[in-house]
Amino acid sequence: MKKPIIPSMDIIGNKIIAVAKKDGLKNAFENIYTYMIDGTKSSRKPFHYCTLATIENNIPQQRTMVSQKVINDKNNVYKKIRFHADNRSPKKLHIDNEKINPKFASCIFYEQKHKILIRMIGLINKAAVIDVQDTWENDMTDLSKRCYFNPLPPSSRISSFDDFKINHEKMIHNSSSNANLSSSFDIIEFNIHSIEFLVLGIHGHIRARQYIIDNDDENVDHHDVHHINYYKEGLYLSEDWLSP
């Protein structure tokens, strides 16, 4: 008779399921946010890198992003992820396009070693100017700042491979001669409407979701992000187990 397989508690996915079974889904999602916050501290930690998708000219655009800050205010249904960005980059076209409102985006973390995928849908916007300035002055290293003194916008066409070196030398010169806030630096805020985890397992996958709900509107499908009034008071978070 084969011995039962005991889930390793070194695997984050297994830890999340254990918390969900013992203390409920709300606490499981609080644990996920704790891991996401810890992931911002180092590139060696889980949940440091993610994929952010926006829509530009009706075409989905994805890019790998570094999760710089996760805000989990217990008194606010809106949880946030902050990303640093060059405000000349293509993804800013989506955020700055006044014809697209509200501005929806999606974000995915996948940690193969820890057997967990986290998928989120939400609204995206620029952070307040004061937060951008404070981050630049207090949270960023000189090496991190250097990227935002690039003389060319991201994805600009260049004429030859040698231009990489020329462009890099200009970037280093610009950064070393200017300690002030770069006009190219900006912060993107991803405001989470729904967050879903999928834990992969040999005996079957397990999925659950947490989402913002407006209980005053009985005619709204609470899973439909297009019909939530994000500016209304009285919203709260709800959780569901889902079929994998």
Among 23-27, 53-57, 214-218, the minimum mean pLDDT is found in 214-218
Q: How many other CB atoms sit within 10 Å of the CB of residue 119?
A: 18
User: What per-residue confidence (pLDDT) applies to 215?
Assistant: 63
Separation of alpha carbons 118 and 109, rounded Å: 5
- Of the segments 19-28, 53-62, 97-106, 138-147, which one has the largest average pLDDT value? 19-28
- Where do the structural domains in the chain lie, given as residue ranges? 12-242
Mean pLDDT to the nearest integer, 64-76: 93
The CATH number of domain 12-242 is 2.30.30.40: no
Split at pLDDT 50, 70, 90, the class of 167 is confident
Find all residues with CB under 8 Å of 140, minimum gap 6, and list them: 84
Backbone angles phi, psi at 8, to 5 degrees: -75, 130
The stretch 39-61 carries a mean pLDDT of 92
Of 27, 23, 28, the closest CA to residue 206 belongs to: 28
Q: What is the pLDDT of residues 103-144, one digit of tens each?
A: 889 999 999 999 999 999 999 999 999 999 999 999 998 889
Contact 61, 89 (CB under 8 A): no
Query: Per the structure block, which two tokens stand in for 244?
Result: 């994998």
Rounded Cα gap, residues 42 and 64, in angstroms: 16
12-23 and 25-39 helices, crossing angle to 10°:
150
Euclidean distance between CA atoms 143 and 91, whole angstroms: 23
pLDDT of residue 221 exceeding 70: no
Q: What is the DSSP string of 65-104?
A: EE--EEE--TT-S-EEEEEEEETTSTHHHHHH-TTS-S-E
Whether 26 shows a pLDDT value over 90: the answer reads: yes
pLDDT value of position 112: 96
pLDDT at res. 172: 82
Identify whether the C-beta of residue 166 lies closer than 8 Å to the C-beta of residue 192.
Answer: no
Nearest Cα neighbor of 38 from 114, 128, 127, 133 is: 114
